C-alpha cells in the first residue's frame, strides 16, 4: 500500500513539474532605434523572442523598452530576425512596411517614443521566423486626427481584408496629433 501511495505521489509530482514552465526575460532599453534592432537580433540569436514594447520616459530618459523572453533552459533554436521601423511620416512607414512585408516580416507591436534624433516617432517591430515557410504580408497605415474619419477608413480597408494590428496616438510631421493604425493581411 505504501508503495502504491509513493508511486502515485511521484507520478503526480512529475506531472506538475512538467506543466509548470519558467521563463527567462531580457529587458532592452535605448533611445536609438538602430541600437534596439541590434540588441533584439542579438537576443534572438540567444533564443529569445519578442514579447512586449513600450515607449516613454524612464530613468534613462525617453526610451523604447522591449521585453524578450524564452522558456528557461530551452535550446537556442530561435531563427527569428527583427526589424524596428521608426518615423514621423506615415507615408514613409507604409512604404517601409510594404518592403519588409514582401520579405516575410510580420507585425509584432508598435509604440510611440521621443527618439534621440527624430523627435516623437511611431515605432513598429516586425519579426521574420526563419524556421517557418516564407509568408508575405501587405500593410496599410491609416492616420487621422478625427475618430469619425478613422471609422470610415478602417471600414474600407477591413472590406479589403486588412486586419487591425495596432493603434497609437502620435504627433506626425504633417497632421499633428493623429491616431495611427497599422493593418495587415497575408498575400500570395
Q: Among 48-57, 83-92, 100-109, 165-174, which is the least confidently predicted range?
A: 165-174
**Taking the CB of residue 7, how many other CB atoms lie within 10 A of it?**
10
pLDDT tens for each residue of 9-47: 555 555 555 567 899 999 999 988 889 999 999 999 999
pLDDT tens for each residue of 88-97: 888 899 999 9
Identify the residue with better confidence: 6 or 81: 81
Predicted confidence at residue 120, as pLDDT, reads 74
Tell me if 18 is assigned to some domain: no
Q: Residue 155: enclosing H or E segment and its boundaries?
A: helix 147-159
Residue span of the structural domain in which 106 resides:
23-187
Shortest CA distance to 117 belongs to which of 28, 35, 174, 27?
A: 35
Q: How many residues does the chain have?
A: 188
The tally of domains found in the chain comes to 1
Tell whether the model's pLDDT for residue 117 goes beyond 70: no
Burial of 70 (0-12, 13-18, 19+ CB in 10 A): buried
- At 99, is the pLDDT very low, low, confident or very high (cuts 50, 70, 90)? very high
Tell me if 6 is assigned to some domain: no
Tell me if 13 is assigned to some domain: no
Task: Give the dihedral sign, CA 67/70/75/79.
Answer: negative
Tell me if 58 is assigned to some domain: yes
Cα gap 127→50, rounded to integer Å: 8
User: Residue 77: which residues within 8 A CB-CB, separation 6 or more?
Assistant: 47, 131
Tell whether the model's pLDDT for residue 122 goes beyond 70: yes
Shortest CA distance to 141 belongs to which of 77, 174, 98?
A: 98
Tell me if 12 is assigned to some domain: no
Report yes or no: 155 and 140 within 8 Å, Cβ to Cβ: no
Shortest CA distance to 84 belongs to which of 70, 57, 61, 63?
A: 63
Mean predicted confidence (pLDDT) in 69-82: 81
Tell me if 56 is assigned to some domain: yes
Tell me if 176 is assigned to some domain: yes
Predicted confidence at residue 40, as pLDDT, reads 97
Tell whether the model's pLDDT for residue 50 goes beyond 80: yes
Mean predicted confidence (pLDDT) in 115-129: 80
Tell me if 33 is assigned to some domain: yes
Amino acid at each position: 500500500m505504501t508503495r502504491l501511495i509513493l508511486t502515485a505521489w511521484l507520478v503526480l509530482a512529475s506531472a506538475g513539474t512538467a506543466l509548470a514552465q519558467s521563463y527567462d526575460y531580457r529587458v532592452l532599453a535605448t533611445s536609438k532605434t538602430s541600437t534596439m534592432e541590434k540588441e533584439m537580433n542579438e537576443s534572438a540569436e540567444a533564443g529569445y523572442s519578442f514579447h512586449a514594447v513600450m515607449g516613454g520616459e524612464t530613468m534613462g530618459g525617453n526610451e523604447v523598452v522591449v521585453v524578450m523572453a524564452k522558456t528557461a533552459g530551452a535550446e537556442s533554436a530561435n531563427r527569428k530576425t527583427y526589424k524596428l521601423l521608426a518615423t514621423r511620416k506615415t507615408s514613409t512607414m507604409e512604404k517601409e512596411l510594404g518592403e519588409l512585408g514582401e520579405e516575410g516580416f510580420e507585425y509584432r507591436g508598435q509604440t510611440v517614443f521621443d527618439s534621440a534624433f527624430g523627435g516623437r516617432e511611431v515605432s513598429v517591430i516586425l519579426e521574420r521566423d526563419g524556421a517557418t515557410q516564407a509568408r508575405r504580408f501587405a500593410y496599410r497605415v491609416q492616420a487621422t486626427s478625427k475618430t469619425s474619419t478613422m471609422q470610415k477608413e478602417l471600414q474600407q480597408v477591413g472590406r479589403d481584408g486588412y486586419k487591425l494590428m495596432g493603434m497609437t496616438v502620435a504627433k506626425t510631421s504633417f497632421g499633428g496629433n493623429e491616431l495611427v493604425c497599422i493593418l495587415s493581411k497575408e498575400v500570395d
